[in-house]
Amino acid sequence: MSIVEKHKEEAVYVYQAPIRIWHWVQAFAIFALCITGYLIGSPLPSVGGEAYDYYIMGYIRWIHFVSAYLVIVGFVFRVYWAFVGNVHAKQIFLPPFWQIHWWAEVWHEIKWYAMIVKEPKKYTGHNPLAVITMHIMYVWGTLFMIVTGLALYGEGTGPGTWQHSWFSTWVIPLFGQSQDVHTWHHLGMWVIICFVITHIYVAVREDIMSRQSIISSMISGWRMFKDDRPADDQH
């Protein structure tokens, strides 16, 4: 058995409090959105009686819309925080696509997951593969869901409302018709779900196997390291 070498537990404050709150609000809102969204497309078994006895679809849709607004407000706030927050807050919005050595690090990370290299690099912020995944699947995925979601919501609020004027009027014809937007909104949910599965699995795995803390950092904000060699990102 090997023993973890003794090393200095130097910690860096990475995730500021607003980011952490945002992360967990998003997590719960997305969870609620997926469950209720699925149930809107494929409702629960019918109940009997009179219409005034129940409001099941009504509540399901209400939870969906409230959670959706949490995600929207959270997303707007998150973009704002990318400007005013620390350097790590900008990462998922702007992957350095133009840097060749960054791509080399992406490749190294892929090899680490393919178990070709024995040791991952050490990062204070996100590793480059995480940045790409979060940028494409989370940032663009969420934006897609917000835009299509507001377009569908605007159909209910009707002409003259901001949701309808700003979103429904152009999104619905862009996809063909309302039914197509529904289909794409469903597909978008599954992209987000695939992201969530990957995100949680990788966070757990990295927490155990990489050279830095992952899960606890999103709770405390502090990144801990398992060795005291220098980090590979410039932060």
Partner 1 sequence: MHETFYDVMRRQGITRRSFLKYCSLAAGALGLSPAFAPQIAEAMETKPRIPVLWLHGLECTCCSESFIRSAHPLAKDVILSMISLDYDDTIMAAAGDQAEAIIEETIKKYDGNFILAVEGNAPLDEDGMYCIIAGKPFVEQLRHVAEHAKAIISWGSCASWGCVQAARPNPTRATPTHKVPNMPDKPIIKVPGCPPISEVMTAVITYMLTFEKMPSLDNQGRPKMFYSQRIHDKCYRRPHFDAGQFVEEFDDEGAKKGYCLYKVGCKGPTTYNACSTVRWNGGLSFPIQAGHPCIGCSEDGFWDKGGFYDRLTDVKGFGIEANADEIGTTAAAIVGGAAAIHAGVSVVKRIAQKGDDA
Least gap, CB of 201 to partner 1 (angstroms): 4
Cβ-proximal residues to 130 (8 Å cutoff; 6+ apart), any chain: 109, 202
Specify burial of residue 58 (Cβ count, 10 A radius: 0-12, 13-18, 19+): exposed
- Residue 80 CB coordination number (10 Å): 12
Looking at 41-49, 70-78, 87-95, 120-128, which segment touches partner 1 (CB under 8 A)? Answer: 41-49
Assess 198 for contact with partner 1 (CB under 8 A).
yes
What six digits make up the tokens of 147? 């835009």
**Among 142, 113, 116, 145, CA closest to 130:** 113
Among 5, 42, 100, 230, binds partner 1 (CB under 8 A): 42
Looking at 45-53, 66-74, 93-101, 225-233, which segment touches partner 1 (CB under 8 A)? Answer: 45-53
Closer to partner 1 by Cβ: residue 96 or 176: 176
Assess 230 for contact with partner 1 (CB under 8 A).
no
Among 90, 94, 107, 173, binds partner 1 (CB under 8 A): 173
Tell me which residues in 99-158 interact with partner 1 (CB under 8 A).
Answer: 113, 115, 118, 155-156, 158
Give how far Cα 134 sits from Cα of 51, 59, 105, Å: 43, 31, 16
* Positions in the binding site for partner 1 (CB under 8 A): 1-2, 38, 41-49, 51-58, 60, 113, 115, 118, 155-156, 158-159, 169-170, 173, 176-180, 182-184, 186-187, 189-190, 193-194, 197-198, 201, 205, 209
